[in-house]
Amino acid sequence: MKATKICEGVYWVGAIDWDLRNFHGYETEKGSTYNAYLVLDEKITLIDTVKAGFEKEMLTRIASVIDPAKIDLIISNHAEPDHSGGIPAVKKLAPGAAVYCAAGAGVKDLTAYYGDLGYIGVKAGDTLSLGKRTLTFLPTPMVHWPDNMVSFMTPENILFSNDAFGQHYATFERMDTESDLSEALVQARKYYANIVQPYGMQTAKALAACAQLPIQTVCPSHGIAWTKHLPEILALYHKWAAGEQEDFAAIVYDTMWHSTEQMAHAIADGFSACGIRPRLYNLHYCFNSDIISDAMTAKYIAVGSPTLNNNMMPSVASFLTYFRGLTGNKKKSIAFGSYGWGGQSPDQVQEQLAGCKCEPLLPAVRLQYKPSQEQLAKITEDVIAALKGE
């Protein structure tokens, strides 16, 4: 396990988590990396660390270029344990290393996790000389924790962006020029949708602040770094932060005996007839985090549940809870579902969607037992009429 050179004097010394499949509820089918960066200057500087359990990998990579005991400075851009978990191990080997983090929230959060290690708080625009290089700190609160900050290093013009622009994507390649770009972009979108999306306004502010900097490379704390394709990822972040929507309908449902499923298809036919691309997600097979990634830019969302014991199905409740916490833009919605008796679920779904910044396109749609062809055709017609009436 060796360090990977990013440029002269700057190395990636992080860890690759090939096995990660769930990151606090986010399905990570491609694993992840915890990126730490080592800068060899008059002050030996480590920017972020790794998740606890991966310290040995990080220290082995550091040791491939320099004795870890020689580290003078640790920059903690974010206290979440996937980036700060390695700080105690580094401090054990290099007890004199000073730890810099965001004043206020950064000091508070690191103290809560690791006790008082003598943290030094920095504010917007504060600079730190490493020797030939200088770091400038820029707080990016709520992208996506209160303590987040980014560090900009001259003269290489590298932005160490922590979670921003990251991807849960385990790969040996470190730069966008050598990686599978399409996979990196898919994972960057999924990362934004599942981690950053609720903080679009704060992200837009951070992007505006970063626009003042002559950034040449962005080194995030997960996945690959952006150089050649920096304009593409920046353009996507601007679009996502602005909550831009597309003519796309995400139709999410669970089903017991295929009746709600048939309703989902009838709704999809209505969207398709109006030139709006529908996509169906059966919660029996699809993960919430994958649906959220697709649905982030959808203009429409339809959610269906059969009534089970007077309630919506638990899978649908789980999706709606996840969606409510993350959705960043107002969508038009349809609640639907089949029932045998009772039939409470469509109204329950409608109520939940109202709490998710959604505005009903139709009154809640419910059908008893097995839908007839006529009833399904009526659903399609109603969706078409509602879309034409917008």
- Interface residues toward ligand FEO, by CB under 6 A: 78, 80, 82-83, 144-145, 163, 221-222
- For residue 283 the two structure tokens come to 């919660």
| 78 in active site | yes
Gap between the Cα atoms of 58 and 114, Å rounded: 18
CB of 167 to ligand FEO, least distance (A): 11
**Choosing from 26, 37, 78, 339, which is the catalytic residue?**
78
Residue in the shown chain whose Cβ atom is closest to ligand FEO? 80
- Closest distance to ligand FEO from the beta carbon of 52 (Å): 13
Catalytic residue among 114, 191, 199, 322: 191
Q: Whole-number minimum distance, CB 259 to ligand FEO, in Å?
A: 41
Tokens linked to 211: 């626009």
Which of 82, 109, 176, 269 does the annotation list as catalytic?
82
Identify the active-site residue in 83, 168, 222, 229.
222
Which residues, at least 6 apart from 372, have a Cβ–Cβ distance to it below 8 Å? none
Strand partners, 175: 225
> Burial letters for 60-85: b for 16+ Cβ neighbours within 10 Å, e otherwise?
ebbbebeebeebbbbbbbbbbbbbbb
**Cβ 268 to ligand FEO, closest distance in Å?**
35
Shortest Å, Cβ 164 to ligand FEO = 10
β-strand partners of 151:
137, 160
Contact 153, 210 (CB under 8 A): no
Q: Which of 48, 163, 176, 269 is catalytic?
A: 163
Q: Nearer to ligand FEO by C-beta: 138 or 250?
A: 138
Which of 354, 336, 366, 353 minimizes the C-alpha distance to 264?
Answer: 336
Question: Vertex 339, ends 338 and 343: CA angle to 5°?
Answer: 110
Collect all residues with Cβ–Cβ distance below 8 Å to 86 and sequence separation of at least 6. 36, 49, 50, 51, 52, 54, 55, 58, 59
Marked catalytic residue, from 144, 176, 192, 339:
144
- Could you tell me which residues are beta bridge partners of residue 102? 122
Nearer to ligand FEO, 31 or 131 (CB): 31
How far apart are alpha carbons 383 and 264 in whole angstroms?
11
- When the beta carbons of 109 and 176 are compared against ligand FEO, the nearer one is 109
Give the burial string for 177-207 (b: 16+ CB within 10 Å, else e): eebeeeebbebbbbbbbbbbbebbebbbbbb
End-to-end Cα separation, the chain, in angstroms: 58
* 168 catalytic per annotation: no
144 noted as active-site residue:
yes
Nearer to ligand FEO, 184 or 249 (CB): 184
Helical (H) or strand (E) element with 56: helix 55-63
Tell me whether residue 24 is one of the annotated catalytic residues. yes
Task: Tell me the closest approach of the beta carbon of residue 221 to ligand FEO, in angstroms.
Answer: 6
* Active site annotation includes 163: yes
Distance of CA 109 to the CA centre of its chain: 21
Least distance in Å: CB of 157 to ligand FEO? 23
Catalytic site includes residue 82: yes
Catalytic site residues? 24, 78, 80, 82, 144, 163, 191, 222
